[in-house]
């Protein structure tokens, strides 16, 4: 039986996996390597710029997630303090 915390963590990991799959080009393999670790296999990349673009896109996706979570946290804190 999953605890609610484990269920939440699993939901977060699955959501991250979905977002990662949407960010990475369709010809590349994306897999869950461990608990919260993922692997991307990108065969056939000929140019360094292609890898740099992939990394930038993944970094932007992750930064967007963090920004959204920070905004949600601020809204919750504002509601608790009566703002």
pLDDT for the residue numbered 1: 53
Residue 34 is classified by DSSP as: S
pLDDT in 10s for each residue of the chain, 83 residues: 568 888 888 888 999 999 999 999 999 999 998 888 999 999 888 899 999 999 999 999 999 988 888 888 888 877 776 65
Say if CB 38 and CB 32 are below 8 A apart: yes
The pTM of this model reads 0.72
Say if CB 47 and CB 13 are below 8 A apart: no
Residue 44 is classified by DSSP as: T
Say if CB 64 and CB 54 are below 8 A apart: no
pLDDT for the residue numbered 7: 87
pLDDT for the residue numbered 17: 92
Angle between helices 4-23 and 48-81 (to 10 degrees): 140
């Amino acid at each position: 039986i999953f605890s609610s915390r484990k269920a939440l963590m699993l939901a977060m990991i699955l959501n991250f996996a979905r977002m990662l799959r949407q960010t990475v080009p369709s010809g590349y393999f994306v897999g869950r390597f461990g608990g919260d670790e993922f692997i991307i296999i990108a065969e056939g990349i000929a140019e360094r710029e292609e890898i740099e673009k992939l990394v930038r896109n993944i970094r932007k996706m992750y930064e967007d997630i963090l920004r959204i979570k920070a905004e949600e946290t601020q809204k919750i804190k504002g509601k608790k303090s009566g703002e």
